[in-house]
Amino acid sequence: MIDVHSHITFGLDDGAKNLNESIEMAKLAVKEGIKTIIATPHHGHPLYSTGKEDVVQTVEILREQLQLRKIPLDILIGQEIRLFEEIDHALLSKNVLSLNDTEYVLVELPSSHIPKYVERLFYDLLVQGNIPIIAHPERNAEIVENPDKLYRLVKNGALSQVTTAAVAGKLGKKIQKLSLQLIEYDLSHLIASDAHNTTNRSFFWQEALKVIEKKLGSDKLALLETNSVDLISNSPLTKNQPTRIPDRRFMGIF
């Protein structure tokens, strides 16, 4: 499996605090069945704003340490970029990182709302050849209240990624139901851990995969897994026509 969103790099944000914690996260990732993981420390977050060179250097150190310990986990480079109006310019000037140097860009929305400039910014990103992936849309209050907000962005070309913790029910039943329906209605195209540690914000991959297969079927599960493989090779992701979630949006799966 490939995990396209994690905070496994140490000392850069609210993820692993030191090298030992990164190593423990790597060991657990392997136990969960993960073979490749993209390190995506925060950039532009109000509390954490990791620079590109810091990410590159820290990932290189972590790679070396995993090789020394014979831990079979490949670490790739990326960032979780907090939404700001000049992301397109920052990418053109190579001041921020896409996921594994592909056209795919992991973008974090504010937790409370969707800024009005998002549609214009995403359009500009798409025009210049970058595809925005909205990280954990199930944690955005405006999308939780009205999933049509996400539908509009996806219909216009954006992708989104739900978290394993949400699907596994670690964030509550309401968020679990919404996360599953975002997958069911083709509003989310990837699943990833957003792991920060080995305890409360861990990988939860196996739990999430079992829930998806049980509730949505093996075809949906296979699509999510294939999309992660295609992402790191910079190939087109499978993106079915999105559908609006019905008004009774938290019904129908269980």
Looking at the domain assignment, is residue 251 inside a domain?
Answer: no
pLDDT, residue 181, reads 97
Instruction: Give pLDDT tens digits for 140-193.
Output: 999 999 999 999 999 999 999 999 999 999 999 999 999 999 999 999 999 999
Looking at the domain assignment, is residue 237 inside a domain?
Answer: no
CATH number at residue 78: 3.20.20.140
pLDDT, residue 80, reads 98
Question: Number of structural domains, the chain?
Answer: 1
pTM for the complete prediction?
Answer: 0.95
Identify the domain containing residue 83 by its residue range. 2-232
pLDDT, residue 248, reads 52
Looking at the domain assignment, is residue 250 inside a domain?
Answer: no
pLDDT, residue 249, reads 45
Give every residue of the chain whose pLDDT is below 70, as ranges.
Answer: 247-254
pLDDT, residue 125, reads 98
DSSP-assigned states of every residue in the chain: -EEEEE--STTSSSS--SHHHHHHHHHHHHHTT--EEEE--EES-SS----HHHHHHHHHHHHHHHHHTT---EEEE--EEEP-TTHHHHHHTT-S--GGGSSEEEEEPPSS---TTHHHHHHHHHHTT-EEEEE-GGG-HHHHH-THHHHHHHHTT-EEEEEHHHHTTTT-HHHHHHHHHHHHTTS--EEE--B-SSSTT---HHHHHHHHHHHH-HHHHHHHHHHHHHHHTTPPPP-PPP-PPPSSTT-S--
pLDDT, residue 49, reads 79
Looking at the domain assignment, is residue 80 inside a domain?
Answer: yes
Looking at the domain assignment, is residue 252 inside a domain?
Answer: no
Looking at the domain assignment, is residue 239 inside a domain?
Answer: no
Looking at the domain assignment, is residue 241 inside a domain?
Answer: no
Looking at the domain assignment, is residue 75 inside a domain?
Answer: yes
